[in-house]
Amino acid sequence: MSYGDKCPAGTFHYGSNCIYFMTNETDFKNAELECNNLGAHLISIHDLFTDSVLGYPPNVGEFWIGGIKKNGTWTWTDGTPFDFADWKQGQPKNDSSDAQCIMFSTNGFWYSKDCKESHGFICSVPTSLEPISCDDDWKYSNETGYCYESYPNGNLSSAEKSCRRVGAHLVSIHSKAENDFTGSWFHIDGPFHRRLYNWIGLYRQNKSSEWKWTDGTPFDYANWGADSPRPDQNCVTQISDSPFTFTSVDCNNTSFGFLCKKLPMKNRK
């Protein structure tokens, strides 16, 4: 057991919340559901300072926030008052339809968009000092604030699906500390330990695409080994020998173990 007194890696602490910039694009409804799965909502914004903080680099792009038009009135999905707005000139659109949601651009302005469009999204998760724990057989990291569990063979796609079935994603790695934790898991700790290569959630569509994590968190850390990444290989494993380097591989290889990662649950008495 540990305590959720800081924000997990890949997020940042602001006020009494942990802010998640999710770069995997989806529609507004699914974005809110993804935030709900974290015990949160799409972020609501109530002052210019918060609005400015969210627009600070490197969080560049277009993201759903929690504003949605209901019965002709703008509301927040978290139920807080809609008491601030920072619309771009000419926004919101003069549209009688209620199928409008708010997209936040890191140019600092808001835009009304069709809720079925796909964008990244921003979740706001309240910080907590309540005791937290992981599911049975999962291991908690004090460094990252996440729970981890290892599984046997699969290709990248099947491994990610297996993680999603237990409310997780393939592991994303955001620091040397997390890299050492995950690498040593397979080196010593995990039930499938001593596998040399193990899937992590890093991939790209093709050699000219950007690298992404399957959980949508920012690609802000890498520990590439010699000769990686290769132009004809679009998925990534971590080697379980120190210094736990990343190696690009064929996405269809089925001989690798994998590690899933998810937020812990709060103990409820």
Architecture of domain 131-266 in CATH? Answer: Roll (3.10)
Domain limits, the chain: 17-126, 131-266
Q: Is the pLDDT of residue 194 over 70?
A: no
**C-alpha triplet 171, 175, 11: angle, nearest 5°:** 75
Task: Mention every residue, 6+ apart, whose C-beta is less than 8 A from residue 161.
Answer: none
pLDDT digits (tens, 9 = 90+) for 56-77: 655 668 999 999 998 889 999 9
17-126 falls under which CATH superfamily? Mannose-Binding Protein A, subunit A (3.10.100.10)
User: Which pLDDT score, from 0 to 100, does residue 197 have?
Assistant: 85
**C-alpha triplet 39, 41, 42: angle, nearest 5°:** 145
Q: What is the value of pTM for the model shown? A: 0.55
User: Which pLDDT score, from 0 to 100, does residue 74 have?
Assistant: 94
